C-alpha cells in the first residue's frame, strides 16, 4: 500500500462507521446477516488500524535502526580515523626516535673516533718523546764515549810523546855513550 497515514486513517474510520451503521441497521430491522456483516466490517477496520499502527511502529523502528546504524557507522569511521591517526603518530614517533637514535649513534661513533684519534696521537707523541729521549741519551752517550776516547787518545798521545821523549833521551844517551 502506498496510501499516506492520513488516507489510511480516513479509510479505517470510514470502514468502522460503515460497519457500525450496518450493525445498527441490521439490529433495528432484524437482519442478523447485515448486523454480522457490520460487525465483521468493524473487526476488519480494527484489524487494519492495528496493522497500520504496527506498520507505523515498524517503520519508526526501521528509521531509528537506520539512524543508529548511520551513527554507529560514523562512530566506527571516526574510530578508524582516530586509530589511523594514532598509528600515524606512533609511526612518526618511532621514526623520530629511530632518527634520534641514529644521530646519537653517529655522534657516539664520531666521539669514539675522536677519542681513538686522540689516544693514537698521544701514543705517537709519547713514542716521539721516547725516541727524542733515546736520541738525546745516545748523543750524550756518544759525547761521553767520544770524550773518553779523546781522553784516552790524549793519554795515549802523551804516553807516546813520553815514550818518544824517552826514546829520544835513550838515543841521546846511547849516542853520548857511544861517543864517549
Domain range holding 73? 5-169+172-179
- Report the percentage of the chain scoring pLDDT > 70: 98
User: Which cell is 150 given?
Assistant: 779523546
Question: pTM here?
Answer: 0.42
Q: Read off the pLDDT of residues 22-71 as tens digits, 9 standing for 90 and up.
A: 888 888 999 999 889 889 989 998 888 888 888 888 989 999 988 999 99
The predicted-structure confidence for 2-27, as pLDDT tens digits, reads as follows 577 778 778 878 888 988 888 888 88
pLDDT at 150: 87
Closest listed residue to residue 44, CA positions, set 15, 77, 23: 15
At 77, the pLDDT band (50, 70, 90 cuts) reads very high
C-alpha cell at 139: 748523543
Given a cut of 60, whether residue 76 has pLDDT beyond it is: yes
Domains contained in the chain, number: 1
Amino acid at each position: 500500500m502506498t496510501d499516506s497515514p492520513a488516507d489510511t486513517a480516513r479509510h479505517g474510520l470510514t470502514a468502522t462507521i460503515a460497519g457500525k451503521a450496518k450493525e445498527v441497521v441490521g439490529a433495528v430491522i432484524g437482519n442478523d446477516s447485515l448486523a454480522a456483516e457490520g460487525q465483521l466490517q468493524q473487526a476488519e477496520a480494527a484489524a487494519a488500524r492495528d496493522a497500520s499502527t504496527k506498520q507505523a511502529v515498524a517503520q519508526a523502528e526501521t528509521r531509528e535502526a537506520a539512524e543508529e546504524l548511520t551513527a554507529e557507522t560514523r562512530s566506527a569511521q571516526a574510530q578508524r580515523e582516530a586509530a589511523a591517526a594514532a598509528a600515524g603518530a606512533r609511526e612518526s614517533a618511532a621514526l623520530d626516535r629511530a632518527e634520534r637514535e641514529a644521530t646519537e649513534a653517529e655522534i657516539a661513533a664520531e666521539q669514539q673516533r675522536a677519542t681513538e684519534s686522540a689516544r693514537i696521537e698521544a701514543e705517537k707523541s709519547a713514542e716521539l718523546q721516547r725516541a727524542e729521549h733515546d736520541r738525546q741519551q745516545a748523543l750524550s752517550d756518544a759525547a761521553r764515549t767520544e770524550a773518553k776516547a779523546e781522553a784516552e787518545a790524549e793519554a795515549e798521545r802523551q804516553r807516546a810523546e813520553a815514550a818518544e821523549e824517552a826514546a829520544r833521551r835513550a838515543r841521546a844517551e846511547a849516542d853520548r855513550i857511544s861517543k864517549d
